Amino acid sequence: MLDKKIFSNTKRAFILKSDEDLKRSIFIFKLISIPSLVPPGIFFTKLALKLRLPIEWLIKKTIFKQFCGGTSLNDCLTGIKNMYSKHVYSVLDYSVEGKVSEEEFDKATDTKINIIKFAAQQKEIPFAVAKPTGLGRFEIWHKVSENKTLTPTEEKEWQHIKDRIKRICKAASEHNVKVMFDAEESWMQDAADQLIENMMKIYNKDRIIVFNTMQCYRWDRLEYVKQSHLKSKEGGYKLGFKIVRGAYMEKENKRAEKLSYATPICKNKAATDNTFNQVMYYCLNHLDDINLFIGTHNEESTYGAITFLEEKQIDFNDERVWFGQLYGMSENLTFNLGIENFNAVKLVPFGPVRDVIPYLFRRAQENTSVQGQTSRELNLLLEESQRRKKESV
């Protein structure tokens, strides 16, 4: 049985990082590890960009290089192939956020379809990913989720959203590329869940193409997964689930308190971990009906999953189970899993530097809010730096 210590193997974890890369990563995580520096850093970066000061080159050489694969599809290819040489797959995510017009949503849809076509030509890229609010206004998702009456203009927007989602799923099916839809705020998620479920009914008959994301800091997700499973068996289709802990906790709790309703978020981290693991094991126990993408930076959950596969004598590279982490983070999980022949994946954001800055800000903020994550990253980087110094003596 694999020892949990595999995740402490820094030589394998940072095998693709040069000494210069390692120094840059240490510098960035040292900055992020000081929470008081992140808000003013974001403020002054926004101000500099607004004043059109020439700082994009600095962003590109630092935080962009750490958390993004490149500015274009082709720009990402070298890194993708290098990771694949260490048995790590990639998922390309065009991480441009904050668009609001119909023209921009149509452009985003075309971009997602182009990524699917690109992925179909690369054995290293088994998945595509899409964000529902990147394909239509948040307000429309919200109103549909709450069963509010749409105006005639909003009805057209909603139809366009459904058409965009279907175009993406159709392209994914035609090119045999799996597509994962992100989960977002709870007050818009019901509409997304229903629409993605409808796509599963169409495209997950003979194979699993469409995946929905479960944010397991929501206490209702286990029951949702169980009910979805029952409906899928009755409807003769299969399920694809990506499971994560979640990304909107503070926003969710603040809104619940402001509007005086029970928060959909688990009461603490232990409860979140418990829900995540329950959802994970439920899916692992029903792999004949469910494909699972385990999106986590948590070593305990990851080790629990690989132990399950060992005990059930399921091949490490069984195509029904995938493990994924964000680019530039948790290399100790991704690369050690890949080298051990698990289906390991890096989510690789890309796009023009200026356009992905909102994503980079969010990445920096989330790192400061996840307890222990930044210090764990930094400690591993420092361990590898020390190991290399000893080796060179």
Residues 6+ apart with CB under 8 A from 4: 299, 303
Residues 144 and 262 in one domain: yes
Q: What domain range is 344 assigned to?
A: 1-98+324-393
CATH number of the domain bearing residue 248? 3.20.20.220
- Distance (Å, rounded) from C-alpha 142 to C-alpha 251? 15
pLDDT score for 36:
80
**Contact criterion met (CB below 8 Å) for 179 and 169:** yes
Residues 189 and 284 in one domain: yes
> For residue 105, is it within any domain?
no
3-state SS assignment for residue 180: strand
Looking at residue 2, what DSSP letter applies? -
pLDDT score for 157:
98
Residues 72 and 153 in one domain: no
pLDDT score for 369:
56
**C-alpha 341: how far from its chain's center?**
21
pLDDT score for 357:
84
> For residue 258, is it within any domain?
yes
> For residue 250, is it within any domain?
yes
**Contact criterion met (CB below 8 Å) for 349 and 358:** no
pLDDT score for 362:
72
**Contact criterion met (CB below 8 Å) for 173 and 144:** no
Residues 23 and 94 in one domain: yes
pLDDT score for 292:
98
Residues 328 and 198 in one domain: no
Residues 210 and 351 in one domain: no
Q: Shortest CA distance to 107 belongs to which of 80, 134, 73, 141? A: 134
> For residue 309, is it within any domain?
no
Residues 222 and 273 in one domain: yes
**Contact criterion met (CB below 8 Å) for 84 and 90:** yes
Within 13 Å and on the Cβ side, how many CA atoms surround 137? 16
Residues 171 and 283 in one domain: yes
Residue with tokens 């619940």: 256
Residues 6+ apart with CB under 8 A from 62: 24, 27, 28
pLDDT of the chain along its 393 residues, tens only? 888 899 999 999 999 999 999 999 999 999 888 878 778 888 888 888 788 888 888 889 988 999 999 999 999 999 999 999 999 999 999 987 667 899 999 999 999 999 999 999 999 999 999 999 999 999 999 999 999 999 999 999 999 999 999 999 999 999 999 999 999 999 999 999 999 999 999 999 999 999 999 999 999 999 999 999 999 999 999 999 999 999 888 899 999 999 999 999 999 999 999 999 999 999 999 999 999 999 999 999 999 999 999 999 999 999 999 999 999 999 999 999 999 999 999 999 999 988 888 888 776 766 665 556 778 899 999 999 999 999 987
pLDDT score for 54:
83
Residues 161 and 258 in one domain: yes
Domain count across the chain: 2
3-state SS assignment for residue 301: helix
pTM, to two decimals: 0.94
Residues 10 and 69 in one domain: yes
Give the residue from 295, 315, 338 where a domain finishes.
295
> For residue 316, is it within any domain?
no
> For residue 301, is it within any domain?
no
Residues 328 and 291 in one domain: no
Q: In sequence order, which ranges of 236-372 are alpha helices (DSSP H)?
A: 249-259, 269-284, 299-311, 331-339, 353-369
pLDDT score for 155:
98
3-state SS assignment for residue 216: coil
Residues 261 and 385 in one domain: no
pLDDT score for 372:
64
